[in-house]
Structure 1
Amino acid sequence: MPEHTDPVPRYRQIAQHYRDRIMGGVLRPGDELPSERRVADEWDVARPTAARALLTLRLDGLTETRQGSGTYVAEVRPRHPRDEHHRPPRSGEGADEPGEHTRIVDADLVEPPADVADDLQLTAAAGGDAPRVVRRRRVVRVGRRVVETSTSWFPAELADTAPRLLRAERIREGTAAYLEQSTGRRAGYARDRAWARTAGTEERRTLGSPEDVAVLVVRHVVYDTTDQPLEAADTIHPPGAAAVEREYPLHPSQRE
């Protein structure tokens, strides 16, 4: 088991270890990965942590599970996100789309939700204090209708050299350009994931939606060119305001 002293969550350390072996050709398509129990034993972690690491690899398309057999390296591996043409969600800090109006609701220092702290790779400060982040919230309207609301979180130390993050006003050039200019850290690539859930109380109030409405959530995590997280952002779309569309080959011979 490799030694790790960095603050990255253990399941991510484990997943990255096997990801590196797969992408480096040490593990070939069809090779079997260790079982959940063996991963837990070798890395001295709980079974749920080992299971989450293996699930991460499967969700990334690097492995596949064969019923009653085990976990194997997938026959077709995706390219690294930085090697693919990636079109991130539209920035909420640049120019509006025609007919839209964006308002920054607030900008402050807060304790992040646990999953956001995880995505930003933040750990407790000395003394056990919870990490802090800059939180920026915005609302986008077309006429009187709210078409999306979003929250962005940035590591708190970025505000030392990029103080406009803490001002409740638009960053017209976009946050990525502003951060590069202010901190020297350039956005390199991003990872997105989406899921549906029931809107929370504050979200329902902002969206003007009934209590039982479902919303689409898109988590957008931006990494700099050294693979360190710069921003995590959740965009909330009410029913009928957004759609997710993908096109992909179904025949193996069409895949590259």
Structure 2
Amino acid sequence: MPDNTDGTPKYHQIANSIRRQIITGELKPGDSVPSERRLEKDWNVARPTAADALRLLRHQGYVESRHGSGTYVRADLPGGHGRRFAQARTIDVSFGAGGTPEVLLAEETAVPSHVADAFGQHADIPAVRRQVLVNDENGTPSELRTSWFSKELAAQAPQLLDPAKSPASIDDYVTAQTGRKPSYGRDQVSARLATAGERKRLQLPNPSAVLEQHLILFDAEGNAFRFDESVFPAEVWKLLYPYPLSD
């Protein structure tokens, strides 16, 4: 059990340890990972902490639970780890040439639980939130994007709190300040009705359906780099699924 005194939550330490074993190949796709009971004993933690570690790994896409069987390393690992050819999805996380981004806010605020999971921290711990409205070439709102950055990363990149900082340059700026850059992503897309605030920002009638994308960007070490929550009017969303062919 590693000795860690930097304040990282215990369940994040456990998840990081298992994730490193997966990335290095010590644990291979299909291998079982330690159970909650085993983690509880090996790490001298309470059962809920062990459960949180496995939940974080599931959230990040490294493991999957099989009912009545246990928890196993996924075959389709993030970033293609463990497979020669990983089914890939092209994700456009930039701001297109025709889109004009407008920064609506840049602030430090408490993170909601689903964002905290991505960063491996407890909910309500402060992080930086930047919200941007993107307009298409005709000036019509096409995306409302909220990006979250951990407090630790923001401490090294203080201009994240500057609303005048160009959204298109954010990733390059953070990389220059921290040495970290996004390497791969994991996303989840769902359809729902727009909230009143979203309808106002996106100039939508009531009611309106929107597509919501939660995208976690990871660095090469598997640590969360950025968490994006994007809301799109249904008519502007396009999906692209390129699947590499094996030899």
Give TM-score scaled by structure 1 length.
0.67
2:70 maps to 70
Aligned residue number for residue 163 of structure 2: 168
2:20 maps to 20
Larger radius of gyration: 1
Give the AA of the match of 1:201: A
Cα distance change on mapping 1:113 and 1:55 into 2, 3 Å: closer
1:17 alignment partner, SS class: helix
Query: Displacement, 1:25?
Result: 4.1
SS in 1 for 2:234: coil
Q: Quote the residue 2:128 is aligned against.
A: 134
1:193: Cα distance to partner?
A: 1.7
Which residue among 172, 176, 181 is the counterpart of 1:177?
Answer: 172
Where does residue 195 of structure 2 map in the other structure?
200
Per the alignment, residue 151 of structure 1 pairs with 146
Structure 1 alignment gaps of length 5 or more:
125-129
Question: Measured at CA, do residues 136 and 14 of structure 1 come closer, stay the same or move farther in structure 2, by a change above 3 Å?
Answer: same
Distance in 2 (CA, whole Å) between partners of 1:30 and 1:114 is 29
Unmatched runs of 5 consecutive residues or more in structure 2: none
Aligned residue pair count:
239
The whole-number CA distance in structure 2 between the counterparts of 1:52 and 1:39 is 11
Amino-acid identity (%) = 30
Q: Following the alignment from structure 2 to structure 1, what is the Cα–Cα distance between the partners of residues 101 and 116? A: 26
Q: Assess if the C-alpha contact under 8 Å between 2:23 and 2:81 holds in 1.
A: no
**Contact 1:132/1:156, CA 8 A, preserved across alignment:** yes
Q: Deviation string for 1:120-162 (max 9, x for gaps)?
A: 45569xxxxx643333221112335321111223345766775
Name 1:216's counterpart in structure 2.
212
Distance 1:9 1:162, change over 3 A: closer
Contact persistence 1:89–1:220 (CA under 8 A): no
Report the Cα distance in structure 2 between the residues aligned to 1:62 and 1:122, rounded to whole angstroms: 18
1:46 partnered with 2:65: no
Structure 2 residue 190 is matched with structure 1 residue 187: no
Deviation track 1:62-103 (CA, whole Å, cap 9, x = no partner) reads 5555554434445x46374689888653324xxx423x3321
TM-score by structure 2 length?
Answer: 0.69
Q: Partner residue of 1:127?
A: none
| More deviation, 139-148/240-249 | 240-249
Q: Aligned equivalents of 1:64 and 1:133: distance in 2?
A: 28
Aligned partner of 1:240: which letter? E
Does structure 1 conserve the Cα–Cα contact (< 8 Å) formed by 2:142 and 2:236? Answer: yes
Q: Residues 200 and 51 of structure 1: is their aligned pair in 2 closer, same or farther, counting only changes over 3 Å? A: farther
The RMSD of aligned alpha carbons is 4.1
Of 87, 90, 93, the residue aligned with 2:93 is 90
Match for 1:45: what amino acid? A
Deviation at 1:187, TM superposition (A): 1.5
Find the counterpart in structure 1 of residue 106 from structure 2: 107
